[in-house]
Amino acid sequence: MKEILIVLTETYPYLHGESFIENEEEFWKFDKILLIPTNKIYGQPRTYKNPAIEVINIWDGKNFIFSGLLQSLGDFDYWNEVRRIVNHFSIRKLLFLTKFIFESHQKAKEILKRLDKYNFSSQDQVTLYSYWAFEAAYIGQVLKKKLEVRKFITRIHGYDLYEQRNKYNYLPMRDTIFSTCDYILPVSEAGKKYLELKWKKYQNKYLVSHLGTKDHGVQLLEETKEFHILTCSNIISVKRLDKLVDALALVKNYPIKWTHFGDGNLADTIKEKAHEKLGENIAVEFKGKCKNSEVIENYKNSVYHCFVNTSDSEGLPVSIMEAISFGIPVIAPDVGGMKEIVCDQTGILLNKGFHIQELADAINNMASIYKEDTNRYQELRNNARKFWEQNYDAVVQYSNFNTFLHMKGNDK
């Protein structure tokens, strides 16, 4: 008998996305781990530490948009979904759903082909794990119907949780995915509450499962002339970096340096806005897209005084877990699960939909503490670090999660 874990990701271990899986995968303790990226991949895979991992590539230059047509038209769940959305019907939404179904079925078919060679026996214990509750989870429910699995679980984060974050205000096949999963794991209490309100009939399946980050040590605090602000995110509309630029334009009392890690379709717009609006007291550095290992190495060797998040919507950001692990205080808005990690112990929680002046005041407040009350500022850094140790240490979170993965489908 072998213990086998099948993990469905978006692109991991390829490309730069899903870097937080790097914190988790080495804690999976199975005889064999089949890691399957379900989205288009390019280049060479990143190095992963778990020796049991084998990556399965289903792409090979295929186009999956229409090739799953036959399987999809015979899927009763698809037609039930069409009937479910008929009251909020639009051609674009129907096309979105249909493309989602076509691609998912063909990807599942390709995965099943590649799994044939492993010759799973009836004695093998197979756990099926989707890292996202979107297309990968739908593919997972198709696989569950074809494979003998001990348990099928999905994590659920932010974009795959909140329908309002989707441009169609719609996430397809929720009922089918949730009914097939044995457990659905929101990464925050806020996510669990949202699911209980939106999909109450599956509330016995919801279990909060925090993500975690590794211990890279505490950042040594060195006195600098500038108050150094750190941000780390994609530069896209939901992250609202434009609000940070507007707020920094109001900060006049202190010399500020702002360093950003990440890239996106609004990068040029934000850079231009920063160049036009920010005064001589604000220095700006855009690092662009970096590997997570490069970001962490920078954190180790630099001094940052405050991490800022300005998003309109979030799950529970790993970027903030990383920041407080180094002892960096945080300023962030009360969206998603943010108030579970940003509190008096770790920094300043802004109102949801905060005004620009509120953010500027918070930056001024944090800078004044750093400049004028060294003991209080050091205590805040110490408290941020302790909060991470108690709640988001990868060793604790993922060791417990590995135990959960090995449980039978009806165990908790």
Domain ranges of the chain: 3-212+394-406, 227-391
Q: Which of 255, 309, 306 is nearest to 284 (CA)?
A: 255
Q: Determine contact, residues 207/181, Cβ cutoff 8 Å.
A: no
**Per-residue pLDDT for 63 more than 80?**
no
Q: Which of 393, 397, 400, 377 is nearest to 322 (CA)?
A: 393
Give per-residue pLDDT as tens, 169-227: 999 999 999 999 999 999 999 999 999 999 999 999 999 999 999 999 998 788 888 99
Both structure tokens of 88: 């909020």
Tell me, yes or no, if the pTM score tops 0.75. Answer: yes
∠ CA 202-204-205, nearest 5°, is: 70
- CATH class of the domain whose range is 3-212+394-406: alpha beta
Q: Same fold for the domain at 3-212+394-406 and the one at 227-391?
A: yes
Which comes out higher in pLDDT, residue 143 or 76? 143
When pLDDT is averaged across residues 300-326 and rounded to a whole number, the result is 95
The CA-atom distances, in angstroms, between 79 and each of 54, 70, 92, 137, 285 are 36, 13, 16, 19, 51
Q: Determine contact, residues 232/261, Cβ cutoff 8 Å.
A: yes
Give per-residue pLDDT as tens, 138-152: 999 999 999 999 999
Q: Is 30 exposed, middle or buried (0-12, 13-18, 19+ CB in 10 A)?
A: buried
Both structure tokens of 207: 């279990």
**Per-residue pLDDT for 70 more than 60?**
no
- CATH class of the domain whose range is 227-391: alpha beta
